[in-house]
C-alpha cells in the first residue's frame, strides 16, 4: 500500500472512529450541559493546540516536510490554543468569554480547513512519513478537533430552550 493511500485511509478511519466515539459518549454528555459548560469543555480540549508548534521543532518532523505547511499549521494551532485558553480564563466574564469562544472556533476551523488545502496542494499525503513523530496529530487529534468545532458551532447557533 502506498504512503498516500495509507495516510488517507488512516485519516478517514480517524474520522470514523471519532464520530462513533463522539456520537456514543461525548455528544450526549455535551448536550446535557448548559451552553457555557459545553463550550468550556470544548475550549479545554482546544487549549492543547499549542502542541502544533512541534511541526517546526527541528528533528521531530522529517526535513522534507514542506516548510509552507509546517509553519502555517504550527502557528495556526498555536493561535487557536491561545484563543481557547483566553476563553477559559474569561469564563466568568460573559462579554469576553463568548467572543473568545467564537474566535477560537472560527479561527481553529479555518486553520484546519486551510491546512487540509495546503496538504493537498503540496502533495503531503504522498510524503506522510515526513510527519515523523507527529504522524498521530493529523490522524488522531485533528479529526476530534474538527468534530468539536462543528459541535461548538451547533451549540452557538441552536435556539436556547426555555425552562419549563
Average pLDDT over residues 8-37: 97
pLDDT above 60 for 162:
no
Distance, CA of 103 to CA of 109 (rounded, Å): 10
What pLDDT, in 10s, does the model give residues 25-72? 999 999 999 999 999 999 999 999 999 999 999 889 998 888 789 999
C-beta separation of 84 from 49 below 8 A: yes
pLDDT above 60 for 8:
yes
Residue 158's pLDDT band, with cuts at 50, 70 and 90, is confident
pLDDT above 50 for 163:
no
Average pLDDT over residues 15-32: 97
Distance, CA of 141 to CA of 75 (rounded, Å): 16
Cell of 157: 447557533
CA atoms within 13 A on the CB side of 44: 8
Residue 159's pLDDT band, with cuts at 50, 70 and 90, is low
What pLDDT, in 10s, does the model give residues 75-128? 999 999 999 999 999 999 999 999 999 999 999 999 999 999 999 999 999 999
Query: 4 — phi, psi (to 5°)?
Result: -65, -45
Provide the whole-model pTM. 0.93
Amino acid at each position: 500500500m502506498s504512503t498516500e493511500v495509507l495516510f488517507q485511509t488512516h485519516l478517514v478511519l480517524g474520522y470514523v472512529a471519532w464520530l462513533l466515539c463522539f456520537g456514543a459518549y461525548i455528544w450526549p454528555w455535551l448536550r446535557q450541559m448548559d451552553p457555557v459548560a459545553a463550550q468550556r469543555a470544548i475550549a479545554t480540549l482546544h487549549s492543547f493546540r499549542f502542541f502544533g508548534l512541534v511541526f517546526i521543532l527541528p528533528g521531530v518532523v522529517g526535513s522534507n516536510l514542506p516548510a509552507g505547511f509546517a509553519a502555517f499549521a504550527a502557528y495556526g494551532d498555536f493561535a487557536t490554543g491561545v484563543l481557547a485558553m483566553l476563553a477559559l480564563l474569561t469564563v466568568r466574564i460573559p462579554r469576553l468569554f463568548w467572543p473568545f469562544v467564537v474566535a477560537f472556533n472560527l479561527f481553529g476551523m479555518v486553520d484546519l480547513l486551510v491546512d487540509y488545502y495546503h496538504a493537498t496542494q503540496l502533495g503531503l499525503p504522498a510524503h506522510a512519513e515526513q510527519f515523523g513523530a507527529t504522524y498521530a496529530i493529523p490522524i488522531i487529534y485533528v479529526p476530534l478537533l474538527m468534530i468539536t468545532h462543528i459541535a461548538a458551532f451547533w451549540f452557538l447557533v441552536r435556539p436556547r430552550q426555555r425552562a419549563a
